[in-house]
C-alpha cells in the first residue's frame, strides 16, 4: 500500500518541483527570435560573442519574421524575446502592437542585404531574364497577350512563349512554399518588379492597392511553379538532377554550391557579391535586427552583443558575416548605423 | 461407384495442384513484400552511411604556433580581461605566415588566414590558461582546418575532380605543400562527439543535442511512466464498467492517434502561455512529450495487465489478499515487463519527435552544452533538421552522421525492449 502511495506522491512532487522552481527563474542568456533568413548571420555572431566573452551564448530561434515580431512585441519581461531578426522592415501595425504592449523603445539595426537568385544547373545554358519575363512566366494572371488591358489566366508554357529570345524549354521553377519569407520577398521584389512594367496594372496601385497586390503577388498553381518545401539544399539537388528546371533561393546557397548551379542574370546583371551590394542586381532585400531597449541592462550582455554585431570584423566587407553570405552595407551607412545603434537611438515609428 | 470415386480423386488432384500454386504465389507475394521493405532500409542506410561516414573524420593541419606575448597583447595571465581580449587568431596567423613566407601579398595572406578554423583561437586560449608556462614559448599542434579546406581535402581523390568552388589557387597550393610534408591529415573528429552546435561545420558537434535529448527523455519518463501505469491499473482493476469509462477509453485511443504537432500547440497554450514555463528548456519539452507518450503507455500497460490470467487474482483473493495487495504483489510485478516494453517504445517515439518541439522553442541554435533540465537545449532530431537546412556544404555529411547517431540510439532502445520481453516474459 505504502509503496504505491509513495511512488505517486514522489512523482507528483518531482513534477511540481521541476515545473514550479523554474517558472520565475531569471534568464541569464539573450533570447533571439525571428527570420530564418537572418538566422544564419545572427547565430554566427551569437556563437562568437559567447566564445569571446564570458556571457552564455544567446539562444537563437528561427520563427519567421512575422512570428518573431509577435513574440518580440508581446511585452517587456524575461518571458519575452530580447531581439528579433527580420528579413523586411517592421510594419506599422507591428510597431503599434509593440507600443500597445509596453515595448516602447526599439532600436532598429539594418545589418546588410540578401539577394534572391533564380538559378539553374551548370549543365544547362545560362538564362538572361528580365523581371518582366519572370512575372509573365510565374504569375497566376497575366496581361492578355493580344495587348488589351485585361488579365487572363497564365497561358505561357515555355520560356520562348514569354520572350522569343529565351530557349524553348518548358517553364519549370522550383521555389519556396507560401509559408516562407523568401517566397514573400520573391513575390514582392521579382514579380512586383516585373508587374510594374504594365501601365494599366501600375495604375491599379493607386486605385486599389489590394487588387494590385493580388495581381502582382499571386504565383501560378498549374504546375509550372513547383513548391519544394523550406529546404534550399533540396532545391539545389533537384536542379542538379534536372537541368531544365530553375530554382529560387537565397544568395548564400548559390555561394556555397557554385560548382553545381549558376544564378541567372536579371536584366543583364549577374548576382554577385558586388552587384547585390551596390543594388544593380534588382532582387535584393534589406535585413534588420530589432533590439528591445528595456531589456538592456536587465538581461546581461545585450549591449556587448550589439557591439559585436556592428563591429567591422563581423559586418565589414572582410568580416565573418560576409564570409557566410551577408552582403554588407556601404562604409558610410555602416558607420552611421553602428553609431546610432550603440548610442541606443530608438525608432520613432514614422515612415514605416 | 468406383468410377465415381476415381472422378472425385481426379477432381481433387486437379484442385490440389491449383491450391498448391495459389499457396506458392501467396508465399511469393509475402517474400516480395519483405524484400521491398528490406530494400528500402538498405537504400536508406547505404545512402546515409556513404554520405555521413566522412563526418567522423576531420582535416587537421599541423602548425607551429608561438605564444608571443606581443602578438597576444598579454602581459599578465592572471588578468582575465587581458586573456579574453587576447589576439589568439593572430598567433595562428603568424604561424601560417612563418610556415609559408612565399605568400606575402595582402590577398594571399587573407587566403591563408581562412585555412584554419576560426574556433581554434579559443582552443589556444584554453590551452594557455591551463598551462601558463607556454607564454612566450612555441608549440607544434594539429589544428582543425576550415570547412572549405576540409571539403576540398576530402574530395581530393573523387572521380569527378576535387570540389574547388570555395578554395582559391593560393589555398590549393598551400594544401599541396602541406600534403607533401605530411602536415595535413584526416584524423578522428573529436569535436563532433564532444561539442555543441556551431555555425562553423568543423566546430559543430552532436553532444549538446545528446545531452538535451537525455534531459528531455528523463523528464518524459519520470512523468509519463508513473501517471500512465497508475491510469492503466485504475482503469483495468478498479474502475466500474460504465459509460464514463467507455468514454475515457475511446478518448485515450483517440489521443494516441492525434498528430504530434497538436500536443506542441497544447503545450504552448497551457505550459508556456498560462503557467509561464520558459521556452526552449528540457522541462517544457518533457512536459509536452509526456502528453504525447501517455496514451501509448496507458494502452500498452493495460494490455500487459489484461494478459495476467484471472486465476492469479482469484488465488490471491482466495487466500485473503485485499484488492490493493492483489495489484501490488501479483498483477503489477507480472505485468511489469510488458509495461516496460511499452515505455521504451514510447520513449523511442519521443526521442525521434520534432514537430511538437517546434512550437515550444526547442528548434533553436544552442551552442552551450545544457547544464540541467532548466537550461536551453535542443534534441537530436532537431539538430538534424537544423543542419539539413544550413547552407554550408560541409553540413551535408554532418547531417547524415547525426542521423546515424540517432538511429544507433533508436536501435539500442528497441533492442532493449525486445530483450526485456524475451527475458522477462512469462507464458501461462
User: How do residues B10-49 score in pLDDT, each as one tens digit?
Assistant: 888 888 888 999 999 999 999 999 999 999 999 999 999 9
At B292, is the pLDDT very low, low, confident or very high (cuts 50, 70, 90)? Answer: very high
Q: Find the CB nearest A14 among B222, B278, B328.
A: B222
- In the predicted model, what is the mean pLDDT of residues A262-291? 89
Q: Which pTM was predicted?
A: 0.83
Kindly state whether B393 is in contact with chain A, defined as any CB-CB distance less than 8 angstroms: yes
Q: Does A3 sit within 8 Å of B226, measured CB to CB?
A: no
Grid cell, residue B240, equals 466500474
At A263, is the pLDDT very low, low, confident or very high (cuts 50, 70, 90)? Answer: very high
A261-270, B152-161, B222-231 — which is least confidently predicted?
B152-161
Same domain, A120 and A245: yes
Q: Which of A266, A284, A302 is the last residue of a domain?
A: A284
> How many other CB atoms are found less than 10 A from the CB of residue B157?
7
A352 falls within a domain: no
- How many residues in chain B? 428
Q: Which residue of A has its CA nearest to B273?
A: A79
Q: What is the mean pLDDT of chain B?
A: 90
Same domain, A204 and A220: yes
Same domain, A216 and A334: no
Residue B85's alpha-carbon distances to A307, B66, B203, in angstroms, are: 14, 17, 21
Task: Kindly give, in sequence order, each residue whose CB lies less than 8 Å from that of residue A337, ignoring residues fewer than 6 positions away.
Answer: A109, A110, A310, A329
At A25, is the pLDDT very low, low, confident or very high (cuts 50, 70, 90)? Answer: low
Same domain, A205 and A151: yes
**pLDDT over threshold 70, residue A160:** yes
Helix (H, G, I), strand (E, B) or coil at A173: strand
Same domain, A217 and A319: no
* Measured distance CA(B358)–CA(B360) in Å, rounded: 6
Q: Which of A240, A267, A284 is the last residue of a domain?
A: A284
**pLDDT over threshold 90, residue A58:** yes
Of these ranges, A145-154, A184-193, B369-378, the one predicted with the greatest mean pLDDT is B369-378
Q: What is the pLDDT of residue A1?
A: 43
A255 falls within a domain: yes
Shortest alpha-carbon distance between residue A44 and chain B (Å) = 6
Determine what percent of chain A is predicted with pLDDT higher than 70: 92
A351 falls within a domain: no
A349 falls within a domain: no
Same domain, A232 and A99: no
Same domain, A274 and A176: yes
Q: Quote the number of domains for chain A.
A: 2
Task: Kindly give, in sequence order, each residue whose CB lies less than 8 Å from that of residue B356, ignoring residues fewer than 6 positions away.
Answer: B260, B261, B262, B263, B264, B267, B288, B289, B292
**Chain B residues within an 8 Å CB radius of A52:** 84, 122
* Measured distance CA(B304)–CA(B331) in Å, rounded: 9
**pLDDT over threshold 70, residue B263:** yes
Q: What is the pLDDT of residue B77?
A: 77
Q: What is the pLDDT of residue B193?
A: 93
Q: Range of A105's domain?
A: 2-113+286-343
Same domain, A108 and A119: no
At A23, is the pLDDT very low, low, confident or very high (cuts 50, 70, 90)? Answer: very low
Q: Does B277 sit within 8 Å of A31, measured CB to CB?
A: no
Place of cell 572521380: B159
**pLDDT over threshold 60, residue A21:** no
- In the predicted model, what is the mean pLDDT of residues A321-341? 89
Q: Does B163 sit within 8 Å of A50, measured CB to CB?
A: no
- Quick check: A55 and A304 in contact, CB under 8 A? yes
Shortest alpha-carbon distance between residue B170 and chain A (Å) = 17
A48-62, B18-32, B70-84, B143-157 — which is least confidently predicted?
B70-84
At B428, is the pLDDT very low, low, confident or very high (cuts 50, 70, 90)? Answer: low
Is pLDDT larger for residue A20 or for residue B282? B282
Q: Which residue of B has its CA nearest to A254?
A: B391
- In the predicted model, what is the mean pLDDT of residues B137-162? 85
Q: What is the pLDDT of residues B386-399, one digit of tens each?
A: 999 888 888 989 99
Q: Find the CB nearest B364 among A11, A61, A78.
A: A61
Same domain, A129 and A272: yes
Where do runs of H (alpha helix) occur along A78-208? Answer: 92-100, 131-138, 159-162, 181-186, 192-195, 199-207
Q: What is the DSSP letter of A347?
A: P
Residue B284's alpha-carbon distances to A174, B165, B367, in angstroms, are: 37, 43, 19
Q: Which of A284, A308, A333 is the last residue of a domain?
A: A284
**Chain A residues within an 8 Å CB radius of B280:** 31, 59, 61
A295 falls within a domain: yes
Place of cell 582543425: B144
Show the domains of chain B with their CATH numbers. Answer: 56-188 (no CATH), 207-424 (1.10.3720.10)
A140 falls within a domain: yes
Residue A290's alpha-carbon distances to A165, A251, A267, A311, B172, in angstroms, are: 44, 23, 33, 17, 41
At A6, is the pLDDT very low, low, confident or very high (cuts 50, 70, 90)? Answer: low
Shortest alpha-carbon distance between residue B389 and chain A (Å) = 6
- Quick check: B362 and B199 in contact, CB under 8 A? no
Interface A:B, Cβ pairs < 8 A: 122
Same domain, A55 and A127: no
The residues in A 315-344 lying below 8 A from B, measured between CB atoms, are 318, 320, 323-325
Cα four-point dihedral sign B298, B300, B302, B305: negative
Helix (H, G, I), strand (E, B) or coil at B86: coil
Instruction: State the CATH number of the domain containing residue A97.
Output: 3.40.190.10
A48 falls within a domain: yes
Q: Find the CB nearest A22 among B223, B325, B374.
A: B374
Q: Which residue of A has its CA nearest to B110?
A: A318
Q: What is the mean pLDDT of chain A?
A: 86
Same domain, A132 and A228: yes
Same domain, A87 and A208: no
A348 falls within a domain: no
Q: Find the CB nearest A40 among B277, B363, B391.
A: B391
* Measured distance CA(B342)–CA(B299) in Å, rounded: 8
Task: Kindly give, in sequence order, each residue whose CB lies less than 8 Å from that of residue B125, ignoring residues fewer than 6 positions away.
Answer: B83, B86, B88
Amino acid at each position: 500500500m505504502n509503496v504505491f502511495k509513495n511512488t505517486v506522491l514522489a512523482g507528483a512532487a518531482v513534477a511540481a518541483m521541476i515545473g514550479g522552481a523554474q517558472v520565475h527563474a531569471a534568464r541569464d542568456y539573450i533570447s533571439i527570435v525571428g527570420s530564418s533568413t537572418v538566422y544564419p548571420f545572427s547565430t554566427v555572431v551569437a556563437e562568437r560573442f559567447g566564445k569571446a566573452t564570458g556571457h552564455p551564448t544567446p539562444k537563437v530561434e528561427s520563427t519567421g519574421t512575422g512570428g518573431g515580431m509577435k513574440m518580440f512585441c508581446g511585452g517587456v519581461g524575461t518571458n519575452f524575446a530580447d531581439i528579433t531578426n527580420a528579413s523586411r522592415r517592421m510594419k506599422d501595425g507591428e510597431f503599434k502592437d509593440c507600443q500597445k504592449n509596453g515595448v516602447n523603445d526599439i532600436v532598429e539595426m539594418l545589418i546588410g542585404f540578401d539577394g534572391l537568385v533564380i538559378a539553374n544547373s551548370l549543365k544547362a545554358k545560362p538564362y538572361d531574364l528580365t523581371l518582366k519575363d519572370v512575372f509573365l512566366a510565374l504569375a497566376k494572371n497575366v496581361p492578355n497577350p493580344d495587348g488589351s488591358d485585361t488579365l487572363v489566366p497564365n497561358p505561357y508554357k515555355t520560356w520562348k512563349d514569354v520572350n522569343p529570345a529565351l530557349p524553348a524549354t518548358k517553364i519549370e521553377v522550383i521555389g519556396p512554399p507560401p509559408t516562407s519569407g523568401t517566397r514573400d520577398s520573391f513575390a514582392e521584389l521579382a514579380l512586383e518588379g516585373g508587374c510594374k512594367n504594365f501601365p494599366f496594372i501600375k495604375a491599379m496601385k493607386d486605385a486599389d492597392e489590394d487588387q494590385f497586390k493580388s495581381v502582382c503577388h499571386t504565383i501560378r498553381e498549374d504546375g509550372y511553379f513547383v513548391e519544394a518545401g523550406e529546404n534550399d539544399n533540396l532545391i539545389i539537388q533537384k536542379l542538379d538532377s534536372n537541368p531544365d528546371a530553375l530554382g529560387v533561393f537565397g544568395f548564400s546557397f548559390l555561394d556555397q554550391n557554385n560548382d553545381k548551379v549558376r544564378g541567372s542574370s536579371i536584366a543583364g546583371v549577374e548576382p554577385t557579391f558586388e552587384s547585390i551590394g551596390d543594388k544593380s542586381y534588382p532582387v535584393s532585400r534589406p535585413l534588420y535586427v530589432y533590439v528591445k531597449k528595456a531589456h538592456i541592462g536587465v538581461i546581461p550582455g545585450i549591449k556587448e552583443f550589439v557591439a559585436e554585431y556592428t563591429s567591422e570584423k563581423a559586418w565589414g566587407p572582410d568580416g565573418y558575416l560576409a564570409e557566410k553570405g551577408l552582403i554588407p552595407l556601404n562604409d558610410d551607412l555602416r558607420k552611421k548605423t553602428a553609431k546610432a545603434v550603440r548610442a541606443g537611438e530608438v525608432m520613432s515609428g514614422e515612415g514605416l | 461407384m468406383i468410377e465415381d470415386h476415381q472422378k472425385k480423386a481426379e477432381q481433387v488432384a486437379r484442385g490440389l495442384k491449383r491450391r498448391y500454386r495459389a499457396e506458392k504465389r501467396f508465399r511469393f507475394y509475402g517474400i516480395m513484400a519483405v524484400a521491398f521493405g528490406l530494400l528500402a532500409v538498405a537504400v536508406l542506410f547505404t545512402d546515409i552511411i556513404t554520405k555521413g561516414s566522412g563526418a567522423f573524420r576531420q582535416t587537421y593541419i599541423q602548425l607551429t604556433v608561438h605564444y608571443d606575448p606581443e602578438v597576444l597583447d598579454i602581459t599578465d595571465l592572471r588578468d582575465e580581461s587581458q586573456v579574453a581580449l587576447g589576439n589568439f587568431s593572430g598567433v595562428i596567423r603568424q604561424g601560417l605566415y612563418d610556415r609559408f613566407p612565399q605568400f606575402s601579398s595582402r590577398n594571399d595572406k587573407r587566403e591563408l588566414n581562412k585555412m584554419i578554423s576560426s574556433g581554434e583561437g579559443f582552443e589556444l586560449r584554453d590551452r594557455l590558461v591551463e598551462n601558463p608556462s607556454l607564454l612566450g614559448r612555441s608549440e607544434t599542434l594539429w589544428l582543425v582546418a576550415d570547412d572549405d579546406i576540409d571539403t576540398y581535402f576530402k574530395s581530393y581523390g573523387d572521380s569527378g575532380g576535387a570540389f574547388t568552388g570555395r578554395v582559391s589557387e593560393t589555398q590549393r597550393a598551400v594544401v599541396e605543400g602541406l600534403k607533401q610534408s605530411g602536415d595535413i591529415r584526416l584524423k578522428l573528429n573529436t569535436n563532433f562527439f564532444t561539442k555543441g552546435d556551431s555555425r562553423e561545420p568543423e566546430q559543430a558537434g552532436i553532444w549538446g543535442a545528446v545531452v538535451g535529448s537525455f534531459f528531455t527523455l528523463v523528464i518524459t519518463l519520470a512523468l509519463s511512466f508513473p501517471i500512465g501505469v497508475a491510469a492503466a491499473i485504475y482503469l483495468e482493476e478498479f474502475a466500474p464498467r460504465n459509460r464514463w469509462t467507455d468514454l475515457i477509453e475511446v478518448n485515450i485511443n483517440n489521443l494516441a492517434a492525434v498528430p504530434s504537432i497538436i500536443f506542441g500547440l497544447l503545450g504552448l497554450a497551457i505550459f508556456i502561455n498560462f503557467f509561464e514555463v520558459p521556452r526552449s528548456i528540457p522541462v517544457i519539452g518533457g512536459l509536452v512529450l509526456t502528453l504525447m507518450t501517455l496514451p501509448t503507455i496507458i494502452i500498452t500497460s493495460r494490455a500487459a495487465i489484461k494478459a495476467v490470467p484471472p486465476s492469479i487474482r482469484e488465488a490471491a483473493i482466495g487466500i485473503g489478499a485485499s484488492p490493493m495487495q492483489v495489484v501490488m504483489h501479483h498483477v503489477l510485478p507480472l505485468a511489469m515487463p510488458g509495461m516496460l516494453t511499452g515505455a521504451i517504445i514510447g520513449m523511442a517515439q519521443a526521442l525521434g519527435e520534432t514537430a511538437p518541439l517546434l512550437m515550444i522553442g526547442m528548434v533553436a541554435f544552442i551552442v552551450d552544452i545544457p547544464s540541467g533540465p532548466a537550461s536551453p537545449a535542443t534534441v537530436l532530431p532537431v539538430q538534424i533538421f537544423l543542419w539539413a537546412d544550413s547552407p554550408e556544404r560541409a553540413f551535408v555529411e554532418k547531417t547524415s552522421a547525426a542521423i546515424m547517431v540517432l538511429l544507433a540510439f533508436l536501435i539500442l532502445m528497441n533492442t532493449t525492449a525486445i530483450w526485456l520481453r524475451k527475458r522477462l516474459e512469462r507464458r501461462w
